[in-house]
Structure 1
Amino acid sequence: MNGPLNPACAEVERVLIYRLGSLGDNVVALPSYHQIARAFPRAERRLLTNIPVHRKAPAASAVLGDSGLIHGYIAYPIGLRSLSSILTLRSEIRRFHPQVLVYLGSLRGFPAALRDKWFFRFCGIPKIVGVPQSRSDCKRRRISGTTYRESEAERLARGIRDLGAFDLEAPSSWDLNLTDAELHRAKETVSAMNEARFLAVSLGTKAQANDWGEANWTALLSRLAAHLPDYRLAMVGADDEADACSRASIAWQERAINLCGLLTPRESAALFRSAELFIGHDSGPMHLAAAVGVPSVAVFSARNFPGVWFPHGRQHRVIYHQTDCAGCELVTCIEQQKKCILSITVDEVFDAVLSQLSRNPAEGRIASVLG
């Protein structure tokens, strides 16, 4: 880092932003993207990011769309190792000729951060903002007096503090800048449900360790169908989740609409704005729902420490059981057989849903259930 910038200076015409990941990774970076846009309002802003290969991991462009926060993309090949691929990427970055690099990298340790810094120096970028300056910068901070760790959104904001302070609690920090077409698509879907009150549900997750299981979801949704006769259900997710969602929501019969694969991530976010509640795993759709201000009931594994990937805001109910293996960061859990998330009962989630539906909207809160 070269010290504090005068970020709104007119001579900054090209800014490169480094952020890898897919749906949830980019939603939690929204406050940082907004701050970068405010700091460099006249600059062309391009995002250096990976193109996910998993169908449940939409690319950054599917999240940011026509928001105006990002003007273009440069593909970052995952597993960048060979000299030829490094030089090819360097050439593409140099063709853009960025004057500033804003680093929104994940936590991979101080040596990795230093390697990233020297690569961008090698690309000829004169100013770099956000690269960790010490080993302590590469550690997620603990929330005083709790078992919680700072959220990813908070960590990213801390990293680019040289661009100025900003309010993570302001709704504008999470604005997806949805287009009229996206809002209209959501309105059509709500109209198809006869403007009824509805729950938005997503069963999908990329990580096996985060999956609560179809049997649990089927039991939960069956109980809710009987208890909430005046509600409808909107199932949202990737196209390959459609069959599982149909099975899990069978008790709702004609009151359920299966939208898996039919809406883009941004259209899903527009739809969530009209939902009474979002219910789902620790997932990208959960973060989309939080971004548009919809309360949620989120079923979490303990693969990450509490707070890191919780939905932002105090209106959510997070169900998380603390176990002795918490923080393992495993994508697939075999040895412990997912004992953290599978210890969560249908009764717990059912009660949390009813509690959220009966909440006083004026009472902001985050009520995490810790085992």
Structure 2
Amino acid sequence: MREREGARGEAGGKRRAREEFGGVRAVLVMKFRHIGDVLLTVPTLRALRENFPGARISVLVNAGTEAVLAGNPLIDEVLVYERSVKEKGPVGRLRGELGLLGELRRRRFDMAVDLTGGDRPALLGLLCGARYRLGADPRGGGFAGKRFLYTHLAPYAGAMTHTVLRDLSVVRSFGLSTADLSVSIHPSRADEEAVEGLLKEGGVAPDEPFVHVHPTSRWFFKCWTNKGMADIMDRLQRAGVRAVVTAAPDATELSMVRSIKEQMGTRPVDLSGRLSLRQLAGLSRRAVVFFGVDTAPMHMAAAAGTPVVALFGPSGAFDWGPWDGGKASELAASPGAAFTTPYGSRSGNQGFGPHRVVQKPWECVPCGREGCERSGRSECLEGLTADEVWPVLEERVEAALRRL
């Protein structure tokens, strides 16, 4: 097993990487996390594509997250792990796991890259037959001896490291680097046409500017107050900018949107529950600004190139803040200290490129918990007022409108 220490020059690192990883024709990348996590792997996928231009690159993800990689030219296929296999009893689960392993072995992978850190990808990397198995140092996590299943272990990236760069460090530690740190998402033409049809149905003209508002999350400890969201959307629309609101097709999220609308004095365009993930990205691309909470649609909007204003509570912007790939590439290329995150403070309002994070500068923030005392309610979010949020959003909207 090879452990990586220190950093190499990019050109020399790539040359040594080609020598070290000879004969790589098929690469498996594993990310068993959520939608936003999967999307933020794109710079790592680019590093692999640039270093192995002729290889077949497959990405294995949880069911329900695959859409954010659809149409991405950096990869050849997306494989899906059906988490429902865990509910089929011992025999059914074993059959499902062996079926997945068989699919992987038939592809004859030369390299397996674990961007998850759990036990499953460590085992799959070994059992699928990959000669080179890359991962991050588990630092004692997982089962005994897990670290010895890898052939190449990257050092711990550090607590104050953005998720994009944490993933990238797994391959960059061994010379597999890229200068382009952009994250991209690829809605199809059909997705964009569907969005235009729904906007037209809602009375939005083809050239009319609007703000995409996504107030919900599957984790409600990340959500702001319904009253606050209602107030902000009213202010937007009274300023002459339409609010287009979205939510997942989930009963609880849809109920939240209904409550927000009931507290509004104006009427937004409501597309809640009506868009696929790629259509959601198409909507964000069409918007002048995205406004919402720390959730996958926030990352999708940033990947679509739309300025983001995001409300953060228990999560840290330093590792989950909206990403600007162009600015990040510039910072990473600058001489000096290693670039680990564009958000240098643990909490409080911060910005990166066209994006802004609004967060209380409290000592307990970010706690990384599911609400205060794990109650499902986050006082740091509930304590935000519309008067604190509005100036940040207003400035971003005015800046975007000036560019039209």
Q: 1:35 maps to what in 2?
A: 47
- The alignment covers a number of residue pairs equal to 337
Q: 1:318 maps to what in 2?
A: 357
Instruction: Report if aligned partners of 1:36, 1:163 keep a CA contact under 8 Å in 2.
Output: no
Aligned amino acid, residue 155 of structure 1: R
Structure 2: how far apart are the matches of 1:8 and 1:248? 56
Alpha-carbon offset, residue 287 of structure 1: 0.4
Q: 1:128 maps to what in 2?
A: 133
Q: Quick one: which of 220, 223, 228 aligns to 1:216?
A: 228
DSSP-derived class of the 1:174 partner = coil
Q: 1:156 maps to what in 2?
A: 167
**Once structures 1 and 2 are overlaid, which stretch shifts more, 81-90 or 153-162?**
81-90
Q: TM-score, normalised by structure 2?
A: 0.72
Q: 1:15 maps to what in 2?
A: 27
Structure 2: how far apart are the matches of 1:37 and 1:362? 37
Q: Quick one: which of 315, 319, 332 aligns to 1:308?
A: 319
Structure-2 change in CA distance of 1:179 and 1:133 (3 Å): same
DSSP-derived class of the 2:67 partner = helix
Unaligned runs of 5+ in 1: 52-58, 143-148, 364-371
Structure 1: how far apart are the matches of 2:136 and 2:69? 23
Structure 2: how far apart are the matches of 1:37 and 1:252? 51
Q: Does 1:282 align with 2:319?
A: no
Structure 1: how far apart are the matches of 2:236 and 2:295? 21
Q: 2:244 maps to what in 1?
A: 234
Aligned amino acid, residue 126 of structure 1: R
Aligned amino acid, residue 72 of structure 2: S
Q: 2:37 maps to what in 1?
A: 25
Structure-2 change in CA distance of 1:139 and 1:246 (3 Å): same
**Once structures 1 and 2 are overlaid, which stretch shifts more, 12-21 or 241-250?**
241-250
Alpha-carbon offset, residue 99 of structure 1: 1.2
Q: Does 1:91 align with 2:130?
A: no
Structure 2: how far apart are the matches of 1:326 and 1:174? 27
Alpha-carbon offset, residue 137 of structure 1: 5.5
Q: 2:70 maps to what in 1?
A: 65
DSSP-derived class of the 1:158 partner = helix
Alpha-carbon offset, residue 97 of structure 1: 2.1
Per-residue Cα deviation, 1:137-174 (whole angstroms, up to 9, x for no partner): 664535xxxxxx221001111221135322355xxx32
Instruction: Report if aligned partners of 2:135, 2:154 keep a CA contact under 8 Å in 1.
Output: no
Identity %: 22
Q: TM-score, normalised by structure 1?
A: 0.78
Q: Quick one: which of 115, 118, 125 aligns to 1:104?
A: 115
Q: 2:81 maps to what in 1?
A: 75
Structure 2: how far apart are the matches of 1:42 and 1:236? 40
Alpha-carbon offset, residue 343 of structure 1: 1.9
Alpha-carbon offset, residue 311 of structure 1: 0.4
**Once structures 1 and 2 are overlaid, which stretch shifts more, 93-102 or 34-43?**
34-43
Q: Quick one: which of 356, 367, 376 aligns to 1:328?
A: 367
Structure 2: how far apart are the matches of 1:307 and 1:203? 21
Q: 1:345 maps to what in 2?
A: 385
Alpha-carbon offset, residue 212 of structure 1: 1.2
Alpha-carbon offset, residue 76 of structure 1: 6.2
Structure 1: how far apart are the matches of 2:312 and 2:50? 34
DSSP-derived class of the 2:318 partner = coil
Structure 1: how far apart are the matches of 2:226 and 2:171? 40
Structure-2 change in CA distance of 1:198 and 1:362 (3 Å): closer
Instruction: Report if aligned partners of 2:115, 2:167 keep a CA contact under 8 Å in 1.
Output: yes
Unaligned runs of 5+ in 2: 5-15, 141-152, 325-352
Instruction: Report if aligned partners of 1:18, 1:47 keep a CA contact under 8 Å in 2.
Output: yes
Q: Does 1:178 align with 2:187?
A: yes
Alpha-carbon offset, residue 118 of structure 1: 5.3
Structure 2: how far apart are the matches of 1:154 and 1:311? 13
**Once structures 1 and 2 are overlaid, which stretch shifts more, 190-199 or 308-317?**
190-199
Structure 1: how far apart are the matches of 2:161 and 2:388? 26
Instruction: Report if aligned partners of 1:67, 1:179 keep a CA contact under 8 Å in 2.
Output: no
Aligned amino acid, residue 67 of structure 1: N
Instruction: Report if aligned partners of 1:18, 1:48 keep a CA contact under 8 Å in 2.
Output: yes
Q: 1:146 maps to what in 2?
A: none
Instruction: Report if aligned partners of 1:9, 1:40 keep a CA contact under 8 Å in 2.
Output: no
Q: 1:56 maps to what in 2?
A: none
**Once structures 1 and 2 are overlaid, which stretch shifts more, 13-22 or 88-97?**
88-97
DSSP-derived class of the 1:312 partner = coil
Alpha-carbon offset, residue 312 of structure 1: 0.8
